[in-house]
Amino acid sequence: MSSLHIPLADQGSVDLPFEKVAQVFLPRLLEYLKSRTAISNTPVGAPAIGQPWPEQGGIYLGPRIIDGSLRHRVFVEDQSKHPRGVTFDNVGNAVSLLGPINKLNDWAPADMEDVMLAFIHARQYFPKSGRESVYWTTKPYGSDLAWALDFEDGGCGGWGRHGELAVLPVRSITS
């Protein structure tokens, strides 16, 4: 059984089974979010979450609140546009060096939430084994590691920053 590894500040860590997280934590989190924030104003023409949105250049990840604003996130479906063999220090440059993707210039590397949403809603678009299935997030994990997610099993944890992994380009659409 896979588990979610959560480091605790100066207190070690805790491993929570994914089944418990899905059964207990996620429903409570969704209840809390619904009570705090109304996520609406879906743009006209937006597809269902996890489906292609050609006009926006990729696959719709869904809505998120980012810096207090509602944003709709999209990732690039074309695997050839997912930079590979990238160290953590070059994550931002790897996406910018791609130039326009699907005639759009505002792509950025996925943060931790984007990569997790991609695993939850759209894992069918990703490799399922080997190093090809591991994607960086933009979140550091201490001084020598950074967070990465493995699309093979959903494992999310610290990887050495010198490791060569894939990067997921995403973009935001405001409502």
pLDDT at residue 3 in the model:
77
pLDDT at residue 36 in the model:
60
Other beta carbons less than 10 A from residue 22's beta carbon = 12
Whole-model pTM?
0.75
Look at the alpha carbons of 86, 82, 132, 124 in this order and tell me if their dihedral is positive or negative. Answer: positive
Distance CA 60, CA 52 (A): 6
Q: Which domains does the chain have, with CATH numbers?
A: 1-36 (no CATH), 48-174 (3.10.100)
pLDDT at residue 26 in the model:
73
Q: How far is CA 2 from CA 17, 45, 71, 73, 171, in A?
A: 6, 37, 31, 27, 30
Helix (H) or strand (E) holding 121: helix 112-122
The answer to whether 60 touches 49, Cβ cutoff 8 Å, is: yes
Question: Which residues, 6+ apart, have CB-to-CB distance to 174 below 8 Å?
Answer: 69, 70, 71, 72
pLDDT at residue 174 in the model:
85
Distance CA 115, CA 112 (A): 5
Question: What is the chain's pLDDT, residue by residue, as a tens digit (175 residues)?
Answer: 577 777 777 778 877 777 776 777 777 777 766 666 555 566 777 899 999 999 999 999 999 999 988 899 999 999 999 999 999 999 999 999 999 999 999 999 999 999 999 999 999 999 999 999 999 999 999 999 999 999 999 999 999 999 999 999 999 998 6
Q: Name the burial class of residue 143, with classes exposed (0-12), middle (13-18) and buried (19+) by CB atoms within 10 angstroms of its CB.
A: exposed
Across the chain, how many H-helices and E-strands are there?
4, 10
Helix (H) or strand (E) holding 26: helix 26-36
pLDDT at residue 51 in the model:
95
